[in-house]
Amino acid sequence: MKTFLYMICCGVVISVAYWAYKENYRTQASLRRVAELQQQIAHERETISVLNAEWAYLNRPNRLRDLVDLNFGELGLVPLLPEHFAEVELVAYPQVEIDVNELVNPVSTSSAPTAGPDKEFP
Amino acid sequence: MRTPLRPLARVLDARERGENPDLIEAEERAIRNVKTQMKMRRRAESRLLVLGVFFFAAFLTVGTRMASLSASEPTEPVSTASIPQIANQRADIVDRNGEVLATNLATTALYAQPPLMVDPQTAAAGLVKIFPDLDLKRLQEDFSGKRKFLWIKKKISPEQQQQVHDLGEPGLLFGPREMRLYPNGRLAAHILGGASFGKEGVNAAEVIGVAGVERYFDETLRDPAREGAPLALSIDLTAQSAMRQVLSGGMKLMHAKGAAAILMDIHTGEILSMASLPDFDPNDRPRVLTKGDQSDSPLFNRASQGVYELGSTFKIFAAGLSLEKGQVNEDTMIDTRGPLRWGKFKIRDFHDYGKELSVTDIIVQSSNIGSARLAMATGTKAQQELLGKLGFLDVVPVELPETRSVHPLLPPNWSELSTMTISYGHGIAATPLHLAAAYAAVGNGGFKVKPTLLRQETIPPQREQVLSRDTSTKLVKMLRAVVTRGTASFGEVKGYEVAGKTGSADKPKPGGGYYDKKVIATFASIFPASDPKYVLIVTLDEPSIKAHGEMRRTAGWTAVPVAAELVARLMPILGLRPNVASAGNVQYMASGN
């Protein structure tokens, strides 16, 4: 009985030692991976900041203005002026296509509701 | 083999000899005891040995670990270390809408360690090929001399770095650097200022602000606790760009030598755009002039550093004071017969305005005599008090280090004559920014504003009331009349109800006296008059334009049209709709001052 207990204990010790050994190496591998990732993050951040700077540089007002001038033929953009403001009331409603039948028969005799102009003007 | 305690043979022998057989037993027992003792001892000794070895090994392990710990450098566990790259960065500067005004860029510095060099002469020749601005002779001397270390370039591009790599010289080394980049170039150059390197090491260099907000907020921008949160200015990048474009066009058209403009929110004091021409590129900041007039340097900010006599724009303060004191109302007639004498001194008007003018017309026609009379009636002390409250006696508390040292020029002895001349803006010199803050108080219901370059969320809750709301409304009406029927008729922008006052002051000669044909033309405006939202100040330095066969220098002909164009361009950008109802027929009339 005693010997059996000893053997079990030995077995437990060996397996726990093996587990600890493995965990140790796994931890070290994880730490290395974390360091790698952090380096990668730092690199990505640097890239982002460079891209941000580049974006700001490419979108600088002077360059955009020159581009607008260069492409005036296609874009026809002009500086925003007070005349460009308008009242909402001045915007035309979209043209409603009117069904010819409705003109002929303005009051519908069928019981089913027809899609009249009312739908467009709620 | 186990021996019995009473061996039969010996017991029988002893009995035959008549001896006591118990002795035999005792003897045997003694022998047996000794044997057992010996056995026990050996076992104990071996156990001790095992224990000894065990303890020795244990202590040896502990000792070795301790020795190794004490001999090695302490390190933190890697998993808890954060990302250090961000914390070191200087925070970005953005405009009120989050557009980048200043940011950082990773770059490389080039340095040399001559002792490591294989072929210094070829290396020097190669470097000069890559960087033509380097001096070949100097480099050769440095490389072959006693120097162990020298910086060659503080910032190089990746392409240049590759070219240096290609030289294959082990003595040329690179250090990482972070440089400040202003992607918009000259825009808002005077506000941003610039940055340069402070303490330099091989692996890093400190970026420090040298002027403008970069310097004023240097500590804040470098504070790691910000965690890279950008600093939001009150500037609107688009408006700033449009202002610079219009102003530079206006400056060329008016043949002016310099120009400045400030657009300010009338309630919060936020400077939405501020431009001063000529300007510079903060990415490549020019050196400070070592001789000559600093105001000729592009580094000079005319809007906040330039101290000028701002001329007739001051008349509105004289009128305001008289209204505030209840001495007059806007229709009271004032004697304007000239010239007005004070001792040897005579005050004249640009034109003769006849016997008398109403207070409104004094402002509209810009009568020096009329405003001098108003100032005489209110007195020196009241004038000093009002100008003090409006901020003319102190530096402008704006977030620019250069401006903090610019004191307005005041008369050394504030006599009655000074009071009279100051009422029409002579004998006192202040910056256009002073004027902007004062006009903001005139237009916003009489509250003092503090000009600021930082984005404000709300109107400051406690504001000092400098003028009454009633006076403010009346003054804005007078200023509006200046544009509709006075000296600033070119300033009318349909729908924006511009109200403002022109000012043309002769430039003082360095030795005393005034230049005959050099003026500072200023237009200070508030709009829309029915509900003032913005203040715009435009100042042109020595403008002149030929119109109607005459050389015109007054603000009405020079600064006002530029200001009108600025209003028309900037207001749509800032989303202020024109008031259609007010955009009636405009009557243009040309007149001076």
By Cβ distance, the residue of A41, A52, A79 closest to B100 is A52
**d(C-alpha B100, C-alpha B136), whole Å:** 39
Confidence band of A87 (pLDDT split at 50, 70, 90)? confident
Over residues B428-451, mean pLDDT: 93
Supply the pLDDT for residue B207.
86
Closest-approach residue (CA) in chain A for B569: A81
The DSSP call for residue B409 is B
The DSSP call for residue B270 is B
Closest-approach residue (CA) in chain B for A61: B241
In angstroms, the separation between the Cα of residue B495 and the nearest Cα of chain A is 8
**Chain B residues in contact with A65 (beta carbon < 8 A):** 241, 245
Residue A31's CB is within 10 A of a number of other CB atoms, namely 13
Mean pLDDT of chain B: 88
Q: Are B339 and B529 in contact (CB under 8 A)?
A: no
Say whether pLDDT at B518 is over 80.
yes
Lowest mean pLDDT among A108-112, B18-22, B575-579: A108-112
Confidence band of B138 (pLDDT split at 50, 70, 90)? confident
Residue B45's CB is within 10 A of a number of other CB atoms, namely 10
Say whether pLDDT at B290 is over 80.
no
Cβ of B85 and A53 within 8 Å?
A: no
Cβ of A61 and B568 within 8 Å?
A: no
Say whether pLDDT at B66 is over 80.
yes
Q: Is B40 exposed, middle or buried (CB count within 10 Å of its CB: 0-12, 13-18, 19+)? A: exposed
Q: Are B400 and B303 in contact (CB under 8 A)?
A: no
Q: Which residue has the higher pLDDT, B85 or B527?
A: B527
Q: Are B175 and B109 in contact (CB under 8 A)?
A: yes
Q: Give the predicted TM-score (pTM) of the model.
A: 0.78
Cβ of A42 and B187 within 8 Å?
A: no
Which residue spans within B212-292 are E strands per DSSP? 231-232, 258-265, 271-277
**Chain A residues in contact with B87 (beta carbon < 8 A):** none
Chosen for mutation from B103, B177, B187, B235 (greatest number of chain A CBs closer than 10 Å) is B103
By Cβ distance, the residue of A42, A59, A79 closest to B85 is A42
Say whether pLDDT at A117 is over 70.
no
**Residue type at B256?**
A
- Give the CA angle between residues B545, B421, B517 to the nearest 5°: 25
Closest-approach residue (CA) in chain B for A27: B79
**Chain A residues in contact with B89 (beta carbon < 8 A):** 49
Over residues B558-586, mean pLDDT: 82
Confidence band of B593 (pLDDT split at 50, 70, 90)? very low
In angstroms, the separation between the Cα of residue B568 and the nearest Cα of chain A is 6
Cβ of A61 and B85 within 8 Å?
A: no
Tell the residue number behind the tokens 């001789």, with chain if given: B291
Chosen for mutation from B80, B86, B107, B186 (greatest number of chain A CBs closer than 10 Å) is B86
Over residues B559-568, mean pLDDT: 94
**Chain B residues in contact with A31 (beta carbon < 8 A):** 77-79
**Residue type at A68?**
V
Q: Are B266 and B178 in contact (CB under 8 A)?
A: no
Lowest mean pLDDT among A8-12, B331-335, B536-540: B331-335
DSSP states along A58-95? HT-HHHHHHHHHHTHHHH------GGG---GGGSPPPP
Supply the pLDDT for residue A110.
52
> What's the longest Cα–Cα distance across chain B?
177
Who's near B463: CB < 8 A, 6+ residues apart? Answer: B447, B448, B449
**Chain B residues in contact with A60 (beta carbon < 8 A):** 183-185, 187
Closest-approach residue (CA) in chain B for A44: B85
Cβ of B181 and A87 within 8 Å?
A: no
Over residues B173-182, mean pLDDT: 88
By Cβ distance, the residue of A34, A53, A79 closest to B183 is A53
- Total beta-carbon pairs less than 8 A apart between chain A and chain B: 79
Who's near B241: CB < 8 A, 6+ residues apart? Answer: A61, A62, A65, B184, B187
**d(C-alpha B548, C-alpha B50), whole Å:** 119
Quote the tokens at residue B266.
């009338």
Say whether pLDDT at B141 is over 60.
yes
Closest-approach residue (CA) in chain A for B243: A61
Supply the pLDDT for residue A122.
41
B196-251 pLDDT per residue, tens: 888 877 777 888 898 999 999 998 888 888 877 899 999 999 999 999 999 999 99
Beta strand B231-232 with B93-94 is parallel
Q: Which residue has the higher pLDDT, B586 or A62?
A: A62
Cβ of B104 and A84 within 8 Å?
A: no
Over residues B564-582, mean pLDDT: 86
In angstroms, the separation between the Cα of residue A122 and the nearest Cα of chain B is 29
Q: Are B213 and B193 in contact (CB under 8 A)?
A: yes
Chosen for mutation from A32, A62, A77 (greatest number of chain B CBs closer than 10 Å) is A62
Q: Are B495 and B578 in contact (CB under 8 A)?
A: yes
Quote the tokens at residue B258.
């310099």
Confidence band of B479 (pLDDT split at 50, 70, 90)? very high
Give the best-scoring range by mean pLDDT among B27-41, B64-78, B168-182, B185-199: B27-41
% chain B with pLDDT above 90: 47
Cβ of B79 and A31 within 8 Å?
A: yes
Cβ of B83 and A65 within 8 Å?
A: no
Cβ of A50 and B99 within 8 Å?
A: no
Who's near B213: CB < 8 A, 6+ residues apart? Answer: B93, B191, B192, B193, B231, B233, B399, B400, B453
B76-132 pLDDT per residue, tens: 665 544 555 444 578 899 999 999 999 988 888 899 998 888 888 888 888 888 888
A13-38 pLDDT per residue, tens: 999 999 999 999 999 999 899 989 98
Say whether pLDDT at B522 is over 90.
yes
Over residues B504-524, mean pLDDT: 86
Residue B170's CB is within 10 A of a number of other CB atoms, namely 11
By Cβ distance, the residue of B104, B241, B495 closest to A61 is B241
Quote the tokens at residue A9.
């204990």
Supply the pLDDT for residue A9.
96
Lowest mean pLDDT among A67-71, B67-71, B174-178: B174-178
Supply the pLDDT for residue A111.
52
Counting DSSP H helices and E strands in chain A, the numbers are: 4, 0
Confidence band of B585 (pLDDT split at 50, 70, 90)? very low
Who's near B227: CB < 8 A, 6+ residues apart? Answer: B86, B87
Over residues B299-313, mean pLDDT: 90
B12-53 pLDDT per residue, tens: 888 898 888 888 889 889 999 999 999 999 999 999 999 999
Closest-approach residue (CA) in chain A for B94: A56
By Cβ distance, the residue of B105, B494, B580 closest to A53 is B105
In angstroms, the separation between the Cα of residue B491 and the nearest Cα of chain A is 15
Say whether pLDDT at B552 is over 90.
no
Chosen for mutation from A27, A32, A57 (greatest number of chain B CBs closer than 10 Å) is A57
**Chain B residues in contact with A89 (beta carbon < 8 A):** none
**d(C-alpha B273, C-alpha B568), whole Å:** 15
> What's the longest Cα–Cα distance across chain A?
110
